[in-house]
């Protein structure tokens, strides 16, 4: 293959002339913009340990009242992408959010889509479009783009959850903004998504007779996901990944347009290779501890830790406990890549 031309090979007068017209010669930059065989990546394999972040999050509760913070969040920033950009991966924002007893995070809606994965505490809730969703450890709650949502805390002690948003993408498109609203009136049917979608393969009959809501299921209780993973693990061959996808129960497709979500179980003492794919990802540890080897970097993880996985990464997951399983929650941008037509899974 011939050598690639460099910008310095062009006459200075030519470079200055095109620059003055807001033009840029692409050919000297082509290899950086379109590398051969594998993307150039700045995202680093990194771990954020909850035991290290938790004291700072609780201190934030002392330093800043919720009325001034609106949302009290510590963002998990990948150093390879620049801390000022508050990105865990190029497309995924991750934050740790704290709410204290009696507090209310006010009602708003915004262009980025978000989900909440509860880390600790009891008595918290999220109201989405008038539906009150309880927040218990491991629960996943959707707050899609454009839907009104607010948070509250009726219990004791801190409640902390993981925020995951497609904020970096929406910011890149210069389309991110929020609108504040009055507190929502909660319907007399709290957590209605759970009363309507209790069993796989069954949906309310009205789904065939009325227009289908875009987001019929807003809360995925961890107790049910854990039970389903455990049942699946019994029939999954040794060495194969025990994994379930969170989906729209009326379509079977991804439950959000940009980010995808799945739950992983590592059986006691198990080591598995995750199929290599083109999406970037974040792994959050719901239960257990072990090790993740990401592109040759070994990171030991414990309960409530969070890890970043670059695109195209080689990933090996190991449960170092011989008597108890480990459970992880994965966020990735596979739905976006599928829509764009370049999602790949490699051997």
Is the predicted pLDDT of residue 1 greater than 80, yes or no? no
pLDDT digits (tens, 9 = 90+) for 49-72: 999 999 999 999 999 999 888 899
Whole-prediction pTM: 0.94
* Domain topology for 46-340: Jelly Rolls (2.60.120)
Q: What is the mean pLDDT of residues 278-282?
A: 98
Q: How far apart are CA 330 and CA 339, in angstroms?
A: 19
How confident is residue 12, by pLDDT bands cut at 50, 70 and 90?
very high
Q: What is the mean pLDDT of residues 122-130?
A: 95
Q: Which residue has the tokens 């998504």?
A: 193
| 153 in Cβ contact with 100 (< 8 Å) | yes
Is the predicted pLDDT of residue 2 greater than 70, yes or no? no
- Exposed/middle/buried for 244, CB within 10 Å: 0-12, 13-18, 19+? middle
Q: Where are the alpha helices (DSSP H) in 122-218?
A: 167-172, 192-196
pLDDT digits (tens, 9 = 90+) for 207-250: 778 888 899 999 999 999 999 999 999 999 988 999 999 999 98
Q: Which residue has the tokens 């970037």?
A: 280
pLDDT digits (tens, 9 = 90+) for 73-88: 999 999 999 999 999 9
pLDDT digits (tens, 9 = 90+) for 102-116: 999 999 999 999 999
The whole-number pLDDT of residue 122 equals 94
Q: How far apart are CA 142 and CA 166, in angstroms?
A: 12
| 325 in Cβ contact with 233 (< 8 Å) | yes
Q: What is the mean pLDDT of residues 295-319?
A: 98
């Amino acid at each position: 293959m011939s050598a690639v031309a460099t910008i310095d090979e062009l006459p200075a007068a030519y470079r200055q002339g095109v620059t003055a017209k807001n033009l840029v010669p692409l050919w000297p930059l082509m290899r950086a913009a379109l590398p051969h065989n594998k993307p150039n990546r700045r995202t680093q394999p990194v771990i954020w340990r909850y035991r290290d972040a938790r004291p700072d999050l609780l201190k934030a509760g002392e330093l800043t009242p919720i009325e001034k913070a609106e949302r009290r969040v510590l963002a998990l920033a990948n150093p390879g992408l620049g801390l000022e950009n508050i990105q865990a991966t190029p497309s995924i924002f991750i934050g740790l959010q704290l709410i204290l007893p009696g507090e209310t995070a006010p009602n708003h809606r915004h262009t980025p889509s978000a989900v909440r994965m509860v880390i600790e505490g009891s008595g918290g809730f999220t109201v989405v479009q008038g539906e009150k969703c309880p927040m218990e450890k491991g629960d996943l709650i959707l707050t899609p783009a454009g839907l009104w949502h607010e948070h509250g805390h009726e219990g004791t002690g801190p409640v902390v959850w993981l925020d995951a948003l497609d904020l970096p993408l929406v910011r890149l498109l210069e389309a991110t903004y929020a609108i504040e609203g009055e507190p929502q009136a909660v319907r007399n049917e709290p957590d209605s998504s759970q009363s309507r979608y209790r069993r796989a393969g069954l949906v309310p009959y009205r789904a065939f007779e009325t227009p289908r809501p875009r987001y019929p299921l807003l809360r995925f209780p961890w107790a049910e996901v854990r039970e389903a993973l455990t049942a699946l693990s019994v029939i999954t061959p040794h060495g194969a990944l025990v994994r379930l996808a969170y989906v729209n129960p009326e379509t079977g497709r991804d439950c959000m347009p940009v980010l995808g979500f799945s739950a992983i179980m590592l059986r006691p003492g198990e080591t598995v290779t995750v199929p290599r794919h083109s999406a970037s990802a974040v792994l959050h540890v719901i239960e257990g501890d072990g090790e993740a080897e990401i592109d040759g970097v070994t990171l030991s993880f414990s309960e409530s830790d969070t890890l970043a996985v670059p695109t195209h990464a080689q990933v090996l997951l190991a449960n170092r406990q011989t008597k108890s399983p480990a459970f992880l929650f994965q966020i990735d941008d596979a739905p976006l890549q599928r829509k764009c037509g370049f999602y790949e899974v490699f051997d």
